[in-house]
Chains A and B, each alone.
Chain A
Amino acid sequence: MNSAQQRYEALVRAYTPDLYRYAYWLCRSKSIAEDLVQDTLLRAWKNLSQLQEANAAKAWLLTILRHENARRFERKQLDYSEVEQDSLEDTAHASPEHWVATDRLHRLMLELPQEYREPLVMQLLLGMTGDEIATVLQLNLNTVNTRLFRGRAQLRARLQPDHSDGVSQHG
């Protein structure tokens, strides 16, 4: 086994769980999250030479994953002229997983706007600092801190609807 293969295998084994969990909280679907992780790590293999330092691996992989997620919405749609729309497709049972999430906090987290949910996931799940989050999200540190503040404030307010501690949502 060559060194690139060994390096790649170590990368896959070390980061697949975190990437999968991050992807789930990004796209809110377990099946799409699985596809996103596969696409991310295969793209990482093709561009492995770009990764110079092991310390940068997590941020590098998260950046790829966010690009792959964006590509989901940009994938070229070829012009398929349906000859005859005699479809037998079942669409009645399509139900995003967040609709059936039973745990209240889990559901509240899924309902949190993505701009607040994403930095919270990076901080709490991946243990990233504000600066690291800012690098991956391409934001300045103040914006990241504001989003963390608002994310927690919204969650806390929804968990305790009667609670009032004077926290402004416009911090």
Chain B
Amino acid sequence: MDNLSLRRALYEDPASISPQQLEDDAQLMQLQQELLQLDHQLKQQLEIDVPPQLAEQILLRQQMLPVTRHWWQRPLPYATAAALLLSVWFYQDSAPQVHADLGQHALSHVYHELAALGAISTLDQPSLQPLFAELGLSAELPVPVRYARFCDFEGVRSLHLVLEVDGQPLTVFVVPDQHDFPQAKTNQFADARFFGQSLKTARHLLVLVAQQPQLLTKAGPLLAKSLNFNI
């Protein structure tokens, strides 16, 4: 291997060349030492700290995913579903329109405004009250509010909030129940990243989304206590 090839090989991987190959060239030996030292320093930089419990969190999330099986492994439920679908198709013209998937809409909305989860300033209560008042609410939230904005939630003017609960962001959509949102059989939803829950009150629908399921459990009662619905 000539000098130029050796030099190039050293830059590609300094550990790939044995010192014996370089013993006739002091400059190349010096270059190898410098590049090995650089690699050593780079390795130290590359090994950043990993968040504790990251693997455990991933395993927990995976275990909460619904079990998915191929359709041919359960033909009977699929046949039933197909029959049901046909029935729905026949009668859908006369049936009132309902929401296909409230949870999916909430998750899409969160993804659409992911930057809101990173907001770090705390909004003061006086600036929030007019927003709540527009929806017929008053509220004294005992946790910091990081983001508040009116948005279009399935055609309904709603309030999109991001609260900080236990140091983590929790998204809350306060949706006036003008369209009589149906209460799903299960009011919980999730995808690979977020967990969600909808709570129906007398006049509003609250849709909560967070990355940690325990936040939803904690926030439900907290919001119920804090939000007052003006008559």
User: Which residues from chain A sit less than 8 Å from chain B, CB to CB?
Assistant: 8-9, 12-13, 16-17, 20-21, 24-25, 30-31, 34-35, 37-39, 41-43, 45-46, 75-78, 80-84, 86-94, 103, 105-106, 109, 120-121, 123-125, 130, 145, 148-149, 152-153, 155-156, 159, 165, 167, 171
Residue contact B8 to A38, C-beta cutoff 8 Å: no
* A residues near B65, Cβ cutoff 8 Å: 42, 45
* A residues near B7, Cβ cutoff 8 Å: 165, 167
Residue contact A103 to B51, C-beta cutoff 8 Å: no
Given contacts A80-B109, A80-B112, contact A148 B42 (CB under 8 A): no
Residue contact A90 to B121, C-beta cutoff 8 Å: yes
How many angstroms from the CA of A159 to the CA of B41 in the assembled complex? 12
User: Which residues from chain B sit less than 8 Å from chain A, CB to CB?
Assistant: 7-8, 11-14, 27, 31, 34-35, 38-39, 41-43, 45-48, 50-51, 54-55, 57-59, 61-62, 65, 68, 108-109, 111-113, 115-116, 118-121, 123, 127-128, 131, 146-152, 157, 192-193
Cβ distance B39 to chain A, nearest Cβ, rounded Å:
6
Residue contact A80 to B35, C-beta cutoff 8 Å: no
Cβ-defined partner of B148 (8 Å) among A45, A75, A88: A88
Cβ distance A19 to chain B, nearest Cβ, rounded Å:
9
* B residues near A152, Cβ cutoff 8 Å: 11-12, 14, 35, 38
How many angstroms from the CA of A153 to the CA of B38 in the assembled complex? 11
How many angstroms from the CA of A68 to the CA of B51 in the assembled complex? 20
Cβ distance A87 to chain B, nearest Cβ, rounded Å:
5
Residue contact A89 to B116, C-beta cutoff 8 Å: yes
Cβ distance A133 to chain B, nearest Cβ, rounded Å:
11
Given contacts A75-B111, A88-B123, A149-B12, contact A8 B38 (CB under 8 A): no
